[in-house]
Amino acid sequence: MKIVMMGTGTFAEPTFRKLLAAGENVVGLVTQPTKETGRKVGSTRQTGTGLSAMAAVAGVPTTQPESINTPEGLAALAAWEPDLLVVAAYGQILKPAVIDLPKLGAINVHASLLPKYRGASPIAHAIKNGETETGVTIIRIRPGLDSGEMLAKVAVTIEPHETTGELEARLGPLGADLCLAVLQDLKRGEVLGFFQVEALVTKAPKFAKEMGEIDWLKPAAAIQCHIRAMQPWPTPFTFLFRPQKDGVRVLILKSEAMPGYGESGLISAGLIVGTGHGRLRVLELQPAGKKRMPAEEFLNGNVLPPGSRFARESYRSS
């Protein structure tokens, strides 16, 4: 069976690695263009080894079209004469001409328990929404966003302080193992798919950079989930305002929700911040131009007069 791998970033790497290690006949790799500094080119997904680097070591030919759905992209794919496409976090919606090219079609390794969280950012949306469980689903790719029949599924618990990046690192290998199992079943012709229940569908669109900003009017528990979900992208940020001073951009990287009451955004002793409901203790943060640091280290080097607060960029201190 001739397989073409399609993917980008750390979630896809374990699947590609295991296909190669299992001796599968991987005849090509399609991955997003390499992101160039200062230009809006390529993928924003976090990268580890890099699929193109892995392919070079393994001697697998690679193509990086800006769109696989163009005549040029389709021609490059057709030249490999694939029997099956294996897709993981590729980052482009495949049109019917691509899906129909291999005789066995295409399967996708998707990082959610479908039909929940269809879209580009399923892990981050699950954490942001306070889910305690997620997983990986292998689906047949059909026209439409993550709407194909489910071939296999595995669930995992989301740890209370786990970030998107940390959870992705756990789900990638699970997805790879599940994909390899489905692949063996496909070879034997033993895969029976199950249709998704449309009434249970939820969406997980990609986040824009500005969506990382923290809204201190929300409940502390929701802010804590937001902080976890926005790492590594687009990063959870706010602005520190001290009386009579301009705001300084700060990343809030680790926190814990706690009971009590405080004015939204107002900072009290121990870097405890009031929210719309409850309070949030900041445990780790990173001021602009500085390193990541524990709250204690930050407080040792910074004076926070009464009235200091975290707020959105539009806030101005008096």
Q: What is the DSSP letter of 146?
A: S
Residue that has been written with the tokens 């949306």 in this structure: 125
Average pLDDT, the chain: 94
Report whether pLDDT(32) > 50: yes
Fold classified for 212-311: Methionyl-tRNA Fmet Formyltransferase; Chain A, domain 2 (3.10.25)
pTM: 0.93
For residue 297, give the DSSP letter: H
State the pLDDT confidence band at 36, using cuts at 50, 70 and 90: low
Spatial distance between the Cα atoms of 175 and 169, rounded to a whole number of angstroms: 10
Amino acid at 154: V
Task: Please report the pLDDT score of residue 155 as a whole number.
Answer: 98
For residue 68, give the nearest of 141, 171, 165, 148 by alpha carbon.
141
pLDDT confidence of residue 318? 53
pLDDT at 38 over 80: no
Give per-residue pLDDT as tens, 56-104.
999 999 999 999 999 999 999 999 999 999 999 999 999 999 999 999 9
Q: For 238-267, how does the pLDDT look when each residue is reduced to its tens digit (9 = 90+)?
A: 999 999 888 999 999 999 999 999 999 999
DSSP-derived letter for residue 264 is B
Residue 40 has pLDDT above 50, yes or no: no
Domain ranges of the chain: 2-200, 212-311
**Contact of 226 with 140, CB cutoff 8 Å:** no
**What is the C-alpha separation between 249 and 161, in angstroms, rounded?**
23
Which of 128, 107, 111, 129 has the alpha carbon at shortest distance from 120? 111
Nearest to 31 by CA among 72, 84, 92, 75: 92
Q: Summarize pLDDT for 106-147 with one digit per residue, the tens.
A: 999 999 999 999 999 999 999 999 999 999 999 999 998 999
Please give the CATH topology (third level) of the domain spanning 2-200: Rossmann fold (3.40.50)
